[in-house]
Amino acid sequence: MRAVVFESYGLPDVLKIREMEKPTPKDDEILVKVRASSVNIAEWYAMTGLPLARIGGGLFKPKDTRLGVDFSGVVEAVGSQVKDFKRGDEVFGGRDGAYAEYVTVRNAIAHKPAILTFEEAASIPTAAITALQGLRDHGRIEPGQKVLIHGASGGVGSFAIQIAKAFGAEVTAVCSTQNVEHARSLGADHVIDYTKEDFTQIGQKFDLLLNVNGGRSWSVYKRVLKPEGIFVLVGGPRTPFIGPLSLLIKTRIAMLGASQKFAFFMAKFNREDFALLKDLVETGKVKPFVERTYPMTHIADAMRQLGAGHVQGKIVVTMR
């Protein structure tokens, strides 16, 4: 099978397509012929060798040369212990090394909603799971709450608007001029163009602030949080050294003694949340948005667009 690999750290030109051995599913695994995958900022960090990423991924060169997590495709084979899936099922899920023609997976998988294309389904896993867990598990979202999403137009932000609305919240989205209509189309009740208006000066207080890409300091964010509000950090400044870690450390220190709560997390895949997202899609509460699709042979171009920033929704790569 073909797979995308990176044998050294660097910009997208380090990405190569190599022939690799097709995986064989174990008794509890599902073999999926991948139709599409989507790109995430974590893959950019790994590819470029962000120092924090090198700690576990190889100091001088990558230990694991495979990239990609999100996938959609068709089940080709199942292990003897697998009961919920069969050959021919259309599925989506998450698995390391998903920029490939085949992957094996255990739990992070669900049947693909019939109303979605493979490209749309591949855009869901990392971004939507992150938005869901950030709002529900760490933000403790409740119906009627006022929720602010800072960085509301990319993959996580686009899903966060819709998921927050599905939970019954009143959503304010913060984004740039070019993304205002996109945020409105996803259901945001209020949209603030940060190039024209400072969201900290609007006189509103929020129960929950989901910070996807904003790099403002805690002293700024606390102005718009209610005394018992929750600040959830799922991203941060793309510094060349440690990514969101600097904002995480500064925020934790600055919040000592504050009445508001703070959460920073890494999303964890599980079959239950994939099933919930499938239901949200099928009931019309969540719809993926794919800005552009690239073939596997143009994976470097897909990563360049991701690295340039200001993507609406997701960038998808098809395995052809």
Q: Where are the domains of the chain?
A: 2-124+288-318, 127-264
What does the pLDDT look like over 30-88, one tens digit per residue? 999 999 999 999 899 899 998 877 877 888 899 889 999 999 999 999 999 999 999 99
Q: Which of 14-18, 266-270, 296-300 shows the lowest per-residue confidence on average (mean pLDDT)?
A: 266-270
Average pLDDT of every residue of the chain: 92
pLDDT computed for residue 239 by the predictor: 40
Q: Rounded to an integer, what distance in angstroms lies between the CA atom of residue 66 and that of residue 70? A: 13
- Structural domain 127-264, CATH architecture: 3-Layer(aba) Sandwich (3.40)
Q: 208, 238, 217: which is closest to 306 by C-alpha?
A: 238
Amino acid identity of residue 58, one-letter, is: G
Amino acid at 39: V
Q: Residue 257 has what pLDDT? A: 62
Identify the pLDDT of residue 253: 65
- Is residue 32 within 8 Å of 88, Cβ to Cβ? no
Contact 20, 279 (CB under 8 A): no
Percent of the chain at pLDDT > 70 equals 92
Helix axes 155-166, 271-282, angle to 10 degrees: 70
Distance, in Å, from the CA atom of 194 to the CA atom of 177, rounded to the nearest integer, reads: 8
The tokens for 166 are 């599905």
pLDDT value at residue 259 = 77
Decide if pLDDT at 273 tops 60.
yes
| Residue 190 reports pLDDT greater than 70 | yes
Collapsing DSSP states into helix, strand and coil, what is residue 218? helix
What per-residue confidence (pLDDT) applies to 243? Answer: 46
Q: Which range has the worst mean pLDDT, 13-17, 249-253, 257-261, 292-296?
A: 249-253
pTM of the complete model:
0.92
Specify the pLDDT at position 137: 97
CATH class of domain segment(s) 2-124+288-318? alpha beta
For residue 231, list its beta bridge partners. 209, 262
Over the stretch 77-118, which tens digit does the pLDDT of each residue have?
999 999 999 999 999 999 999 999 999 999 999 999 999 999
CB of 71 closer than 8 Å to CB of 93 = yes
- Cα–Cα–Cα angle for 300, 244, 65, rounded to 5 degrees: 35
Question: Which of 17-21, 48-52, 55-59, 196-200 is predicted most confidently?
Answer: 17-21
pLDDT tens digits, 218-261: 778 888 999 999 999 885 434 443 445 666 666 666 666 677 88
